[in-house]
Chains A and B, each alone.
Chain A
Amino acid sequence: MIEVQGLTKRYGDTVAISDVSFSVARGEVVGFLGPNGAGKSTTMRIIAGSLGASMGTAKVGGLDVAEDPRGVQRLLGYAPEVPPVYTNMSVRDYVSFAATLKGVDDVPAATKKALGRVGLDKVSHRLIEHLSKGYRQRVGLAQALVHDPKVLVLDEPTSGLDPAQRVEIRNLLAELAEGDRTVVLSTHVLGEIEAICSRVIVINRGKIVAQDELARLAAVGRKVKVELARPGADALAALQAIPGALRVDFEEGRYVVLGETDLREAVSAAAVPFGLLEMAGREKLEEIYLRLTSGGAS
């Protein structure tokens, strides 16, 4: 549904993104991860047709964004990080205005449906300037989905929200992702990616450093943590003797065995004689993210 090929964006000598390529299939929910300034928003804006690329192509539903931006925009709903709202309009008038611009035939019905989906029915008469940040984010989402787009591109929809608001928006995103709608979502909250996305694209310093299913991105077994009932020199020696073990550290009451391959079976065998209480061999998303983006933003 989305095909991005060799996308590059330069601002003078500064390269915002370089040779970014990825594809997203129909119905897929993909998380876009990366530090601030990594190029997530730039890539999303190019896909949404509000920014031109210096090189490369972005296609949505087979339509090239540069050649047929309005065709793409009919298929796509885009919610930027800062909701693009007119604060002196009421919620209903604003969403209705967005529906008109997006070419919806039955504007009142589409407005009512969008307001209902994002839970804005009760505040639809209020001016946007009087709404909390969480509600404004919802208004931003409502304008993105008012024309029932096949593709949703959401740039940090939970940015700046409190935990309760985040949970609300996360649940809403999970609902929106149901069916055959394609969703690309960027966020700093790794839990959201784990909860909603089937696949993740990690971007760092303007380049894609990884893209795969979450489970496959984790380097399973390369870093095994074990908690033993009887830790000591003998246990340490037994773990160090495991073939393939590069290093064994002791952190927060647990041994951490680092290896080149999946060491889970060997570690469990070596640890059992010393009273194996707990073993973890799967990286958390946070660890994967830090490993892939080590070096930070450009």
Chain B
Amino acid sequence: MRNILAIGKREFSAYMTAPIGWIILCAFVVLFSFFFVASLMFYDQASAEAVFNPYQADQLNLNDMIVVPLFGNMQIILLLAAPALAMRLIAEDRRTRAIDLLLTSPVRSSEIVLGKFLGAIGFATVLASSTLLYFGILALLGEPDPGMMLSNYVGFILLFGTLLATGLFASSITENQVVALMVAFAIGLLFYILGWIGGSMDEGTLKTTIEYLSMVSHFEELQKGVLRLQDIVYFLTFIGFFLFATTQRVEALRWR
């Protein structure tokens, strides 16, 4: 545990002291602000129209019109941000040979992988925390559902973790960070568009399987405020699989 925490702390510090961390943080905040303002403007417009349309007034809901779309847009941001955050985790260590410190210290490969994942998740939490301000503003203006907010944040962290685990694995198979970024993005995108593919298929086992594998379908449930065990298990299995694959890869680096 001590090694995991030490490596996690180092990786977290690396994000906070390197340009890439701040670039991603700034880009995230700018994009999130844009989506937030756009959602508010949309809600404002809908409110104005509701004055003349009692039916529309019944439909006005902060959660459905702002919270859910905001977290939905965050999926797209994460699809790009997570590979960019994860690409350096192992690839850079291999390129600079700093990985020799880890490989020649009495540290297990699994500890190296978990430590790096922990550091990245720590930074993901900073990104998630930056959005609290907006929801604080929302709470001043209206009454967003706390349960739904919690469920969305759980989904956000689980989706971020899944994409980071994928990125960590991609970072372990190459010394080239750009290649790692592309591989991680491709894997993430594949599991993202599986939902669309499944949606266009006829009913059957294949459709059910493909839809189950899609990240979107599981994230959408959490977006609605439904905390289902099967969705949490899906994301945790995904994370576990890629962390295991990365551990095997690091072990291979040690002995190849």
Contact = CB atoms under 8 A, between A and B. Distances in A.
A86 B14 contact: yes
Contacts of B254: 49-52, 69
A85 B106 contact: no
B107 A101 contact: yes
A70 B106 contact: yes
Contacts of B104: 48-50, 73, 76, 78, 80, 84
Given A84-B97, A87-B96, A49 B102 contact: no
A93 to B, nearest CB: 8
B118 to A, nearest CB: 14
Contacts of A50: 100, 103-104, 254
A73 B7 CA distance: 17
B2 to A, nearest CB: 7
Interface in A115-157: 143
B18 to A, nearest CB: 6
Interface residues of A, number: 28
A24 interface: no
Contacts of A73: 104-106
A2 to B, nearest CB: 15
Interface string A75-109: 01010101011111100010001101111000000
Given A70-B108, A73-B106, A101 B101 contact: yes
Contacts, number: 71
B247 to A, nearest CB: 15
Interface string A52-76: 1000000000000000011101101
Contacts of A100: 2-3, 6
Interface in A24-50: 48-50
Contact of B256 (A52, A93, A101, A102): A52
A101 B3 contact: yes
Contacts of A101: 3, 6-7, 101-102, 105-107
B55 interface: no
A47 B238 CA distance: 36
Contacts of B2: 100
B99 interface: yes
B37 to A, nearest CB: 35
A74 B106 contact: yes
B93 to A, nearest CB: 8
Nearest to B14: A88
Nearest to A47: B104
A84 B106 contact: no
Contacts of B103: 49-50
A87 B255 CA distance: 26
A11 B3 CA distance: 32
Given A50-B104, A70-B108, A97 B6 contact: yes
Nearest to A75: B106
A98 B98 CA distance: 11
A84 B100 contact: yes
Interface in B6-22: 6-7, 10, 13-14, 17-18
Contacts of A97: 6, 10
Contacts of B255: 51-52
A163 to B, nearest CB: 25
Contacts of B14: 86, 88
Contacts of B100: 50, 78, 80, 82, 84
Contacts of B17: 88
Contacts of A93: 13
Interface of A: 48-52, 69-71, 73-74, 76, 78, 80, 82, 84-89, 93, 97-98, 100-103, 143
10 contacts: A50-B103, A50-B104, A73-B105, A73-B106, A76-B104, A86-B96, A97-B10, A101-B3, A101-B101, A143-B101
Given A76-B104, A84-B97, 16 more contacts: A52-B254, A73-B104, A73-B106, A78-B100, A80-B104, A82-B100, A84-B99, A84-B100, A86-B14, A89-B10, A89-B13, A98-B101, A100-B6, A101-B7, A101-B102, A102-B106
List of 9 A-B pairs having minimum Cβ-Cβ separation, nearest first: A52-B255, A84-B100, A70-B106, A101-B105, A84-B101, A50-B103, A100-B6, A73-B106, A82-B97
